[in-house]
Amino acid sequence: MQQNWKFQRGDIFFTHFGASTGSEQHGDRPAVILQNDVGNYHSPTLIVATMTSKAEKKVNQPTHCLLENAGLNMPSVVQAEQIFTIDKSRALKYLGHLTPEEMRRVDDAVRISLALNPMGSIQQIEPIRRSTAVYAPPEVVDGKPPVYPYTPIRSSFENAGSIEEMMLYTELQSAVHAMIQRLEYSFTFNPSLLTVPKRKQQVAEILEEAEKYIWRIKEEMRCA
């Protein structure tokens, strides 16, 4: 890894994992960065999920996400059950970047792996859907990550406390997003949700909780 490399959530790097124990992933293989971009910029470590080209193995496993990304030589599976914190020096070569649709599908697999699924149960990972949105993947040159358009978050952080505040703000946004997803899942699998008094009360409680987070986010933005 070169000192001036910048890492972004969704980047794919050929990564050195070294030796392993038991069923841990080992050797040199692609991995996708899961960590938020504040951490990617300030931390000496990265949170990644490993990838394998053995796409036919356990293809229906909920924590596996099949990708056909331009940065990969062949269809590969992101293994959301194989998540590691690694030093940045283990990143050997930049391979590419996930599309927004691919990143969303990987996030779904990670939520299932870590029991963060809003429904509290394992849902089948959706099949690959080609996004109709215009997306130009970054050009890969000599295995180095691009400087543009994926620029890391730059802020005049003075101490660890200010970094923690930024991380908290990100958590607030994530909390609201998770609540919205809980409602989306509920209405998708049970369209008659609001006809049941108990369910109506649950929805009201979720909305009330979301409003508290939204108020805190607005206050943070107002004071920024």
The rounded distance, in Å, linking the Cα atoms of 71 and 79 is: 17
The rounded distance, in Å, linking the Cα atoms of 198 and 95 is: 50
Residues lower than pLDDT 50 in the chain? 119-134, 149-158, 160, 163-164, 167, 169
The rounded distance, in Å, linking the Cα atoms of 39 and 155 is: 12
43 inside domain: yes
Q: Which of 50, 45, 41, 44 is nearest to 18 (CA)?
A: 50
79 inside domain: yes
pLDDT of residue 151: 45
Sheet holding 11-16, edge to edge: 64-67, 76-87, 45-52, 28-33, 11-16, 91-97
CA angle 115, 188, 99 (to 5 degrees): 65
The rounded distance, in Å, linking the Cα atoms of 116 and 213 is: 18
Contact 32, 106 (CB under 8 A): yes
The rounded distance, in Å, linking the Cα atoms of 141 and 195 is: 57
Contact 78, 12 (CB under 8 A): no
The rounded distance, in Å, linking the Cα atoms of 78 and 190 is: 30
142 inside domain: no
DSSP state of 144: B
119 inside domain: no
Same domain, 19 and 85: yes
pLDDT of residue 24: 72
193 inside domain: yes
pTM: 0.56
pLDDT of residue 52: 87
Same domain, 109 and 25: yes
- Using omega within 30 degrees of 0 as the cis cutoff, is the peptide bond preceding 75 cis? no
Same domain, 109 and 23: yes
What end-to-end distance do the CA atoms of the chain give, in Å?
A: 35
Determine the 3-state secondary structure of 22 from DSSP: coil
Same domain, 21 and 94: yes
Q: Which of 78, 113, 148 is the last residue of a domain?
A: 113
Please give the tally of structural domains in the chain: 2
29 inside domain: yes
Q: Which of 74, 95, 113 is the last residue of a domain?
A: 113
Q: Domain residues for 178?
A: 160-223
145 inside domain: no
3-49 confidence digits (pLDDT tens): 578 899 999 999 998 777 766 777 789 999 999 999 998 899 999 99
Name residues whose C-beta falls within 8 Å of residue 201's C-beta, 6 or more positions apart in sequence: none
pLDDT of residue 132: 46
61 inside domain: yes
